[in-house]
Amino acid sequence: MEKMKVLAEWSYDPAKPFRGYTGKTLKVNVGDMTFESKDVSEDMKFKFTGGRGFGLKLLWDSVKDTTKWNDPENEIVISGGPLCGVTQYPGMGKFYAVFVSPLTDQTYDSNAGGHFGPLLKFAGWDAIEIQGKAQNDVVVVVDADAKKVQILESPFDDVNAYTVTEAIHEYYGDPKDINDRRFVSVVTSGQAAENTFWGCLNSSFWDSHRKTARLKQAGRGGGGTILRDKKIAALVVKTHDLSGTANNPADVDTLTRLGAKLHKEIITLDAKQCRMRTAGTSHLNEIMNEYHLLPTMNYKFGQHPDADKIHSKIYEKMFTQGISDGCWYGCTMACAKAVDGFELKTGPWKGRKITVDGPEYETAASFGPNVGVYDPAWTTETNFYADHYGFDTISAGTGIAFVCECYELGLINKENTNGLELNFGNKDDIMELIHRMASGKDEFARMVGQGVHRMKDLFAEKFGADRNVMERIGMEGQGIEVSEYVPKESVAQWGGFFLTLKGPQHDEAWLIFMDRVNKQLPTFEDKAEALHYFPNFRTWFSLVGLCKLPWNDIEPADNATKYPPQEAARVPEHVQNYVDIFNAVTGQNITKEDLIHQAERVYNFQRVFQLRLGKGTRKFHNIPDRALGPVWADEWEARAEYYDNELKAGGVDPAGLSSQEKCDRLQKIRREQWEKLVDTVYRRRGWDKNGIPTVKKLKELGMDIPEVVAVVEKHAKPEDQWKD
């Protein structure tokens, strides 16, 4: 690779982390080529903790009420959090990216593993803000070894992820030692991010065993689309200042002790529990199918006889075994599985043998049963091109599933699709659509890449497609596509997907088993309590830089017998570990209750942030009919006995009704249940009837920041306040 031309440069003295924080954040404006260091105050730590919290705080300070995703003041803020970079305990290398999303026109947060988050902190920064829009493609480099931040002219004609990432690792690594490339990490996207709103952020790590760069994705929300809109080919961080105590924790002995215990648990129990070390999250494929939760043909069904063809045992054989597959040091869960020597059959790299990161469960489902395909090799190929082209497999899979159903219903035709026959299961034409989406040359593919929310408008306007039908079957909320679980059997999960801050992603609450199978949430109040606790608990992970998987995809051997059922499901020992780790790193003395309070501050702040951007009220907490229950007769008939009983439970005798009439009656019942759920959850969260946090709630949390209160007071109405 040729030497990159320096366009702008700034020197700095890297701050050493102390108790998990460097106390500094970096702002780079690629438009006016400026650099700025900001101090992190104690008040900022108290209110926002770190990670996603820091991202939201910095974004709040940088955008206007009217900012849209492609305005120059929009930012991508990346931050790991105070625990990010710990190597003693598994799952502690995540970063969280925050931005105003092209899909939702409000804030979005998306996380990734890989080494970028930890290396950024060890390069001296608790967060990096990227603002502005460059005129031509650039590479932004934070080089702590050279004590410089640079904006470089990009040499890349091909901006796709693997091309750029491999070249950058080689460029900055010591040519005499290939594994020196591990001190570099790169964030990229790709050409699909230029032509769709589904652009993902790839975060790299050097795999010293395979001698290749691997990619993990902050896939959701369109962060990659913003990266490319800013004409950034790569964000690079480089530092050799890396050790097991680089965070400078207050109590390394506690970290070592807790880590050793969890390592032992994982090593001894994982094979009998979730098999994360050999199958990764693909172990969920057959489980979701068995419980009618595997999205099949645009979420029409939750189960399919061909699902055996995507069983995790098949993926397990495809994944290379016996290699440490952690995406950050010290993660014995090692679920970042990969398919090595995979020969591509289509596209610009046809015939090449490459390493594919994944597929993980979400991709196995989205580019699998959801589009009517049961072919792991085909799914693996889509996984590779999604990463390489830089798009999100969840949104794209759910989006294309919507297109397939529209095609099969006759809402769009072969003329509209420019010759593609987009029936469910038509692998060749769906793959061709993916390549067309990346190239941006095909008008229909460009429409698809704008997401389900906008496709409904575009298909109605351009092709005369029935808007009402599309509203019923389009699996999106707040502008973003639903992730890969069928929610229609769980009232609580309606909230887990559709009463969220940013749209239907499963990182707030996954309550289907608790609600539907365990029957632990019988009342609306129980559901609301779960929809208060779990979204906050999960938010906490995003504040401190953690992966969720070591929390409850492994459990202590005595967890199920030591605690009563409600408590056991939260894996209390692991929750206490997180409290102890936070205290061991930061030197603070929080409790598990404080942990929720930390999260609640940011959760409510983000809700007000959405309000400030013109969203964040009840009307944006919408849910499509398909998420509530069966829409068409064939969905009902696939589980007729089950749904007949649901109807009876709702007080309706199904006798004499046609299947379509039954669907319509159940929809009416469930729509009423949804409204009741919304009311109950809003009350529990301390929000008014319109979904706006009350000033009283903000005061309780210590988040009555004047400009935040001003946003609430501008929008809150007396008639929306609860009477008691």
Partner 1 sequence: MIVVNGEPMEWKEGMTVRDVINEKRYVFPLLAVWIDNSSVPRDHFATTPVPDGANVQIIHMISGG
Rounded least distance, CB 252 to partner 1, Å:
28
Residues in the interface with partner 1 (CB under 8 A) total 37
Rounded least distance, CB 494 to partner 1, Å:
15
| Closer residue to partner 1, CB minimum distance, 100 or 293 | 293
Region of 476-484, 562-570, 614-622, 631-639 interacting with partner 1 (CB under 8 A): 562-570
| Closer residue to partner 1, CB minimum distance, 322 or 522 | 522
| Closer residue to partner 1, CB minimum distance, 546 or 716 | 546
| Closer residue to partner 1, CB minimum distance, 200 or 293 | 293
Q: Which helix (H) or strand (E) holds 26?
A: strand 24-29
**Out of 286, 457, 661, 664, which residue is the one contacting partner 1 (CB under 8 A)?**
286
**DSSP class per residue in 312-332:** HHHHHHHSPPSS---SSTT-T
Tokens at 278, concatenated: 């050999």
Residue 587 sits at φ, ψ, to 5 deg, of: 80, 5
The Cα 562–Cα 435 span in angstroms is 52
Other beta carbons within 10 angstroms of residue 568's beta carbon come to: 16
Region of 149-157, 267-275, 401-409, 710-718 interacting with partner 1 (CB under 8 A): 267-275
The Cα 89–Cα 616 span in angstroms is 36
Residues from 232 through 251 that contact partner 1 (CB under 8 A): none
Q: Quick check: helix, strand or coil at residue 148?
A: strand
The amino acid at residue 182 is R
**DSSP class per residue in 460-519:** HHHH---HHHHHHH--EETTEE--SS--TT-HHHHHHHHSSSSSS-TTS---HIIIIIS-
**Out of 272, 441, 619, 723, which residue is the one contacting partner 1 (CB under 8 A)?**
272
The Cα 335–Cα 38 span in angstroms is 36
> Judged by CB under 8 A, does residue 212 bind partner 1?
no
| Closer residue to partner 1, CB minimum distance, 175 or 564 | 564
Rounded least distance, CB 553 to partner 1, Å:
8
| Closer residue to partner 1, CB minimum distance, 305 or 522 | 522
Rounded least distance, CB 514 to partner 1, Å:
5
| Closer residue to partner 1, CB minimum distance, 154 or 296 | 296
**Out of 256, 273, 346, 439, which residue is the one contacting partner 1 (CB under 8 A)?**
273
**Under a CB-based contact definition with an 8 Å cutoff, are residues 512 and 302 in contact?**
no
Q: What angle do CA 172, 233, 40 make, to 5 degrees?
A: 80
**Out of 419, 464, 565, 702, which residue is the one contacting partner 1 (CB under 8 A)?**
565
Residues from 616 through 635 that contact partner 1 (CB under 8 A): none
Nearest to 334 by CA among 323, 343, 344, 345: 323
> Judged by CB under 8 A, does residue 569 bind partner 1?
yes
Region of 17-25, 136-144, 283-291, 390-398 interacting with partner 1 (CB under 8 A): 283-291
Binding mask 497-536 for partner 1 (x = CB under 8 A): ---------xx-xxx-xx--xxxx-x-------x--xx--
Helix axis angle, 706-715 relative to 592-612, nearest 10°? 60
| Closer residue to partner 1, CB minimum distance, 152 or 279 | 279
Rounded least distance, CB 528 to partner 1, Å:
14
Residues from 125 through 184 that contact partner 1 (CB under 8 A): none
| Closer residue to partner 1, CB minimum distance, 519 or 696 | 519
Other beta carbons within 10 angstroms of residue 604's beta carbon come to: 25
**Out of 274, 279, 401, 469, which residue is the one contacting partner 1 (CB under 8 A)?**
274
Rounded least distance, CB 339 to partner 1, Å:
24
CA atoms within 13 A on the CB side of 137: 17
**Under a CB-based contact definition with an 8 Å cutoff, are residues 291 and 642 in contact?**
no
The Cα 457–Cα 460 span in angstroms is 5
Region of 215-223, 425-433, 451-459, 558-566 interacting with partner 1 (CB under 8 A): 558-566
The Cα 512–Cα 496 span in angstroms is 9
The Cα 714–Cα 392 span in angstroms is 36
> Judged by CB under 8 A, does residue 588 bind partner 1?
no
| Closer residue to partner 1, CB minimum distance, 570 or 689 | 570
| Closer residue to partner 1, CB minimum distance, 387 or 507 | 507
Other beta carbons within 10 angstroms of residue 163's beta carbon come to: 18
Buried b (16+ CB within 10 A) or exposed e, 526-542: bbbbbbbebbbbbbbbb
Q: How many residues does the chain have?
A: 724
Contact residues: partner 1, CB under 8 A: 272-275, 286-287, 290-291, 506-507, 509-511, 513-514, 517-520, 522, 530, 533-534, 537-538, 548, 551-552, 555, 559-561, 565, 568-571
